[in-house]
Chains A and B, each alone.
Chain A
Amino acid sequence: MAGEIREIAGFDRLIHEPARLAIMAVLSACESADFTYLENATGLTKGNLSAHLSKLEEGGYLAISKGFKGKYPHTECSLTPEGRRAFASYRKQYLALARRLGK
């Protein structure tokens, strides 16, 4: 059991937080998604989503491009190569642990 706890402690904290994990999961499945899609898919509020996106951007996992579509502001997010690698490695770790705990 101590091994498993040590393993959980070794998870990437930036991704392990549920809201950020949901954002990373959505963005890992596409090239990019806009703010509206992320808001709908994750069920987060605008403020909350914005805060988590900023944290992921600061961590180098996310690239955010802001612009306008017509008169409206438009925010598009995509995972950086580092973000994709980090998410893949997190998933691998998580699934391996889940398999062991399931035995």
Chain B
Amino acid sequence: MTVSPDVDRLIRETRRYEFADGLRDLQLAMLLGLGGLTAWLVFEPFWMTFVVRMAATYGRWAAWVGILPALVPPLVVLGMLGVMRVLRRRWLWRESGMVSPSRWAVPRRVNVLSAVILLGGLAVGLGLLKLGLVDASFLLRMLWTATGWSFGYTLLAMGRHLDLPRYRWLGLTGGILSTALLFLPLPFAQSSLVFGLLWCAMLAGSGLITLRRAALYRGAAGGG
């Protein structure tokens, strides 16, 4: 090597490597999908009735069953991390090498702004409620809409920072579709489910397309 290396390109490509096979998208899809499903289940009246009946029949300790669904998403995501490691070591990254990514994929200001968007959305919802322009269910729906804006912005920033066009599109589309939740007359439990399934479908689609491309590229490169 005699010429000066393109340092910016090397840094960008190494940061992007973690997202190049679509497994991160699939992991996020699972987290949001299961998160939405759990929130729906926990806030649905039939679940509450079931937990109360369990406690009445088997004693107070049985009420702990009520919080079990909340443990499912983090456990599945942790399990998915193990699956990702094995898939990458044995198949996807066998020829190109292993990388442990940095903890933060985007600069700190993106995380700060993302939190500001979430809190700002909630503040707007609270303000409108105080003024009597909306009802309480609007504020609850705003919780998911603001989360969608915040997450969409993070994806958009990641797309820009890492030069990943699919994240720009995901962030933009997800942010816009999350706004639509505000205008759907749904109770909190159902808006949680719609929010989770919406993001899950978009991220799973993006992840599967990217994974297929990565697998085809490996096949063409003779990696099997």
Contact = CB atoms under 8 A, between A and B. Distances in A.
A32 interface: yes
Chain A, interface SS category: helix
B57 interface: no
Interface stretch (B6-14, B43-51, B150-158, B170-178): B6-14
A26 interface: yes
Most B CB within 10 A of own CB, among A22, A25, A28 = A25
Contacts of B17: 30, 37
A30 B102 contact: yes
Contacts of A28: 11
Contact of B97 (A19, A31, A34): A34
* Interface magnitude class on chain B: 20 to 34
Contacts of B14: 25-26, 29-30, 33, 41
B10 to A, nearest CB: 4
Contact of B3 (A18, A36, A37, A76): A18
B5 A36 contact: no
A21 B9 CA distance: 12
A72 to B, nearest CB: 10
Contacts of B98: 33-34, 36-37, 76
B1 interface: yes
A19 B102 contact: no
B103 A31 contact: yes
Contacts, number: 79
Interface in A39-54: 39-44, 48
Nearest to A52: B1
B100 A69 contact: no
Contacts of A22: 1, 5, 7, 10
Contacts of A18: 1-5
Contacts of A44: 1
A38 interface: yes
Given A30-B102, A31-B103, A33-B14, A25 B5 contact: yes
A36 B1 CA distance: 17
Interface of A: 18-19, 21-22, 25-26, 28-44, 48, 69, 76, 78, 91
Q: Nearest 9 CB-CB pairs, A to B?
A: A37-B97, A36-B97, A29-B14, A22-B5, A31-B100, A25-B10, A29-B11, A25-B7, A32-B100
Interface of B: 1-5, 7, 10-15, 17, 89, 93, 95-103
30 contacts: A18-B4, A21-B7, A22-B1, A22-B5, A22-B10, A25-B10, A26-B14, A28-B11, A29-B11, A29-B12, A29-B14, A29-B15, A29-B102, A30-B14, A30-B99, A30-B101, A31-B103, A32-B100, A35-B97, A36-B95, A36-B96, A37-B17, A37-B97, A38-B97, A39-B97, A40-B97, A41-B97, A42-B10, A44-B1, A91-B7
